[in-house]
């Protein structure tokens, strides 16, 4: 992971109220995108940020916005545009958490699908920050129910998605009606020529920030490991799959050949699986990804290289059949689950001689990876608790450690194998 000394939020000179909120949110150190974005945004600069999902973009703009709001003014000062109502609500919720101790800041969400009169009433309470979908904001602008004369900052979150969804003209119209003396910030997972064009048209001397795939090992992923001897990995995996009913599961192995072999073994054992590795031709690869994305096949066995581009929502489990060699790969692998604010679970099988690798990963990611004990005595494998088909992942969203060991509903993975054979 990062070898640079860890920065703390203190280094940005944030207010005590905001520091208190970050503590309450259990944000201890800034993520890379936050580290790169907070200072220029605090300085009022335009910024163009390219970063994948799950990297902590909301707080990257939320922190400087909350800090820069003039609380003596009751005009709308900041607009955040979001492609969907769900995202608008999510951003609003993060901003409300960030302002938990800044009582005079009001945040209002404006999105389609809610009666507009309710929002018009809410606007009378004079929010300083508005989070809006472009269509609904245009609606309010036409009705004159929002005044944008005092807006000095606009953030376009998921700009690429807004363009994909056809908000091009609305975005242009909104940007044109804002005061020219303002900060314009763009966040996008991809930077297409069109995004560059928007940047060139509406930004001034923007600082460009590009964060490579470096998803946080977020609290939404409960992480477990179990000691498993090499020859027992496949039976252990089969038990887990039998027991847990994952909707979409991603299994990582070390080599292409293992990906092929394991996918075949799993398929033969009644768990249809595809392999994804660097030797597949692009059309083959696309076919595999399409099947997986649509949920036609629920198991994918992949190598690290092949998994670089996997950007699928709704993966509920990542299994490190082979423990990754370094913490970067670990973070990247488990970042395939727990996305889009859903919870996920990651299991790492640790071979007898691989304890050192596990220790290194824990040391450099500071992740809580909980050992699971008990159920695999005969194989030297230990119980993996939690989750289950019933899906409760309690305690993993709130910044707490992953759930404690739980009796797996009396259904250990190895219930069949534990019988004398």
Binding site for Mg ion (CB under 5 A): 57
Contacts for 233-236: CB closer than 8 Å, 24+ residues apart? 233/321, 233/349, 234/262, 234/265, 234/266, 235/379, 235/414, 235/417, 236/349, 236/376, 236/379, 236/381, 236/413, 236/414
With 0-12 CB in 10 A as exposed, 13-18 as middle and 19+ as buried, what is 315? Answer: buried
34 binds ligand ADP (CB under 6 A): yes
Whole-number Å distance between alpha carbons of 384 and 393:
13
Q: Least CB distance from residue 261 to Mg ion, whole Å?
A: 38
The stretch near ligand ADP (CB under 6 A) out of 215-223, 249-257, 325-333, 358-366 is 215-223
Decide if 339 contacts 53 (C-beta within 8 A): yes
320 binds ligand ADP (CB under 6 A): no
Residue with Cβ nearer ligand ADP (56 or 324): 56
Residue with Cβ nearer ligand ADP (51 or 403): 51
Sole binder of ligand ADP in the list 18, 49, 59, 372 (CB under 6 A): 59
The stretch near ligand ADP (CB under 6 A) out of 55-63, 345-353, 362-370, 405-413 is 55-63
Pick one of Mg ion, ligand ADP, none as the site partner of residue 64 (Cβ within 5 to 8 A by kind).
Answer: none
Bridge partners of 187, per DSSP, are 49
Whole-number Å distance between alpha carbons of 33 and 166:
27
Identify the three-state secondary structure at position 197.
helix
Whole-number Å distance between alpha carbons of 98 and 364:
28
The stretch near ligand ADP (CB under 6 A) out of 50-58, 99-107, 173-181, 298-306 is 50-58
With 0-12 CB in 10 A as exposed, 13-18 as middle and 19+ as buried, what is 96? Answer: middle
21 binds ligand ADP (CB under 6 A): no
223 binds ligand ADP (CB under 6 A): no
Pick one of ligand ADP, Mg ion, none as the site partner of residue 30 (Cβ within 5 to 8 A by kind).
Answer: ligand ADP
Return the residue matching tokens 């997986």: 292
Sole binder of ligand ADP in the list 49, 138, 216, 276 (CB under 6 A): 216
82 binds ligand ADP (CB under 6 A): no
Decide if 222 contacts 387 (C-beta within 8 A): yes
Residue with Cβ nearer Mg ion (89 or 269): 89
Number of residues that bind ligand ADP (CB under 6 A): 15
The site for ligand ADP (CB under 6 A) is made up of 27, 30-31, 34, 51, 53-59, 216, 218, 220
């Amino acid at each position: 992971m990062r070898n640079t000394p860890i920065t703390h939020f203190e280094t940005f000179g944030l207010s005590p109220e905001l520091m208190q909120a970050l503590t309450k949110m259990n944000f201890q150190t800034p993520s890379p995108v936050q580290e790169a974005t907070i200072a220029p945004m605090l300085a009022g600069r335009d910024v163009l940020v390219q970063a994948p999902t799950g990297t902590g973009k909301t707080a990257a703009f939320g922190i400087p916005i909350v800090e820069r709001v003039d609380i003596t003014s009751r005009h709308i000062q900041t607009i955040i545009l979001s492609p969907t109502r769900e995202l608008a609500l999510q951003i609003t919720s993060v901003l409300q958490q960030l302002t938990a101790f800044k009582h005079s800041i009001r945040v209002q969400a404006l999105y389609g699908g809610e009666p507009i009169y309710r929002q018009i009433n809410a606007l009378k309470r004079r929010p300083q920050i508005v989070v809006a979908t472009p269509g609904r904001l245009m609606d309010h602008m036409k009705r004159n129910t929002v005044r944008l004369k005092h807006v000095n900052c606009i953030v376009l979150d998921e700009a690429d998605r807004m363009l994909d969804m056809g908000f091009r003209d609305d975005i242009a119209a909104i940007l044109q009606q804002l005061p020219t003396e303002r900060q314009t910030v763009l966040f996008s997972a991809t930077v297409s020529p069109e995004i560059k064009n928007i940047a060139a048209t509406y930004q001034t001397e923007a600082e460009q920030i590009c964060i490579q795939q470096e998803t946080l090992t977020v609290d939404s992923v409960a992480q477990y490991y179990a000691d498993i001897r090499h020859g027992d990995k496949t039976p252990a995996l089969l038990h887990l799959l039998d027991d847990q009913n994952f909707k979409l599961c991603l299994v990582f192995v070390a080599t292409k050949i293992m990906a092929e072999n394991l996918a075949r073994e799993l398929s033969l054992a009644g768990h249809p699986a595809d392999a994804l590795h660097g030797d597949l031709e692009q059309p083959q690869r696309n076919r595999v990804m399409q099947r997986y994305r649509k949920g036609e096949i629920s198991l994918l066995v992949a190598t690290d290289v092949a998994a670089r581009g996997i950007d699928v929502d709704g993966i509920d489990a990542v299994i490190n059949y082979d423990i990754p060699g370094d913490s970067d790969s670990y973070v990247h692998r488990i970042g395939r689950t727990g996305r889009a604010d859903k919870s996920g679970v990651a299991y790492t099988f640790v071979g007898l001689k691989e304890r050192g690798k596990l220790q290194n990963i824990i040391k450099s990611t500071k992740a809580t990876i909980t050992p699971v004990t008990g159920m695999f005595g005969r194989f030297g494998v230990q119980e993996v608790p939690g989750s289950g088909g019933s899906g409760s992942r309690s305690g993993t969203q709130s910044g707490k450690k992953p759930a404690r060991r739980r009796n797996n509903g009396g259904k250990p993975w190895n219930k069949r194998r534990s019988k004398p054979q």
